[in-house]
């Protein structure tokens, strides 16, 4: 007689499978937030930090009362020059995305390690607010001593870089076709 799997074990596994598929396809929002920051040197010797946060609802239902808070920018280091560090939306539908951005001006030189932004939202089936966190940003070297950029050269390269590449490839191809190879000239001498 072959080894048979007991009937209660099969029923238990089937029940566990059905329960996991029910929980796995539950009708809830799934919030993912991506935070990014970039530095721009201003002519006055100060530096601007541009922050943008994209919030995605990757779940299968709508998130309500979505609120973003990114108040981890110390006031002794940064001034908010445009926008706000917080924002609210009435709803974020499944598959939807909302974005928020603001600009800061740095007052102090040094490395800054930014924290994650906090997103709160409501699910109709739960009384408590739900929380999600954005991705962290890379450390910012604020007002660092950088060598001056060669803007003229970078503009030329941006404008004519692809053209220079194509012309170089064509010239190399013509040179290779027009120049006789050494192996073909040796082969022709042996035939005589």
Q: Mean pLDDT over residues 26-52, rounded?
A: 87
Instruction: Find the angle CA(90)-CA(121)-CA(38) to the nearest 5 degrees.
Output: 85
pLDDT for the residue 22: 47
Note the pLDDT tens digit of each residue in 136-147. Answer: 998 888 877 765
For residue 152, what are its two tokens? Answer: 């003229």
Of the ranges 9-13, 57-61, 146-150, the best mean pLDDT one: 57-61
Q: Mean pLDDT over residues 122-144, rounded?
A: 89
Q: What is the DSSP string of 138-192?
A: PPEEET---PPP-HHHHHHHHHHHHHHHHHHHHHHHHHHHHSPPHHHHHHHHHH-
């Amino acid at each position: 007689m072959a080894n048979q799997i007991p009937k209660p074990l099969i029923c238990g596994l089937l029940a566990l499978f059905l329960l996991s598929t029910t929980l796995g396809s539950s009708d809830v929002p799934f919030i993912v937030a991506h935070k990014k920051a970039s530095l721009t040197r201003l002519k006055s010797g100060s530096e601007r930090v541009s922050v943008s946060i994209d919030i995605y609802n990757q779940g299968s239902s709508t998130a309500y009362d979505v609120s973003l808070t990114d108040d981890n920018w110390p006031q002794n280091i940064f001034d908010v020059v445009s926008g706000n560090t917080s924002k609210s939306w009435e709803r974020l539908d499944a598959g939807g995305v909302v974005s928020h951005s603001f600009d800061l001006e740095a007052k102090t030189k040094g490395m800054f390690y930014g924290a994650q932004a906090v997103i709160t939202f409501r699910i109709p089936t739960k009384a408590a607010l739900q929380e999600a966190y954005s991705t962290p940003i890379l450390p910012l070297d604020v007002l660092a001593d950088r060598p001056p950029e060669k803007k003229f050269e970078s503009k030329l390269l941006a404008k004519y870089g692809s053209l220079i590449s194509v012309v170089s490839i064509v010239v190399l191809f013509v040179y290779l076709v027009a120049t006789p190879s050494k192996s073909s000239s040796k082969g022709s001498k042996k035939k005589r």
